[in-house]
Chain A
């Protein structure tokens, strides 16, 4: 079936570096994408979203890039901080369907001081 997946299970960076977390999706009909952050012992928390009519969206220290040609999504975190250490999930949604996101496998981001 269709799936959303992440390329790397673990990403280690130094504090202050920029981080890039990647995600591949396979449902070409998906038109809404979300990044979630899940800290240990907590539920996933919304970070940023992007609709398929956009290529890039920026938030506070985070940027999401969408490449529909190759069905690729990335989350960029600028000046990574220890508090950014968490598992990051991408999710895709098809607005013509149930609106229920499909989640990929998480990437664990480890930020070293």
Chain B
């Protein structure tokens, strides 16, 4: 039973469009993350948050932005989508202080920009 939800699961969108990928978790976790993943490749951290009103950029440079107005919600926005943004985007959350055991992933949003 998934406790972290991502919508949409699949999205095909034209170049230049603005899109928001939704992520919500029901576990009350403080930390939330966005990863970008190409098929079979490692996960690249693009944004994370330690809690409400906290957002940080990750290791991978990204043209996306995030917000954390509520604990349970961590949306990712692309102001102007480009074909280079085509990828899978994974959202995750974890309990504070947990190295990984409390790390829960959503099922991902597969984005295609045409």
Residues on A facing B (Cβ under 8 Å): 4, 9, 32, 34, 41-46, 49, 87, 89, 91, 93, 95, 99-101, 103-106, 108
Contact = CB atoms under 8 A, between A and B. Distances in A.
Q: 5 smallest A-B Cβ distances: which pairs?
A: A43-B105, A32-B99, A34-B100, A93-B99, A103-B43
Nearest to B96: A99
Contact of A91 (B40, B98, B100, B104): B100
Contact of A101 (B41, B90, B103): B103
B12 to A, nearest CB: 16
B107 A103 contact: no
A89 B108 contact: no
B101 A46 contact: yes
Nearest to B91: A43
A100 B105 CA distance: 13
A43 B92 CA distance: 9
Contacts of B99: 32, 34, 49, 93, 95, 99, 101
Contacts of B48: 100
B107 A43 contact: yes
A89 B42 contact: yes
Nearest to B102: A46
A93 B100 CA distance: 8
B42 A99 contact: no
Nearest to A104: B42
A87 B37 CA distance: 13
B33 interface: yes
Interface string B1-35: 00010000000000000000000000000010101
21 contacts: A32-B100, A34-B99, A34-B100, A34-B101, A42-B107, A43-B105, A44-B90, A44-B105, A45-B105, A46-B100, A46-B103, A49-B100, A49-B101, A99-B31, A99-B97, A101-B100, A103-B42, A103-B43, A104-B42, A105-B40, A108-B40
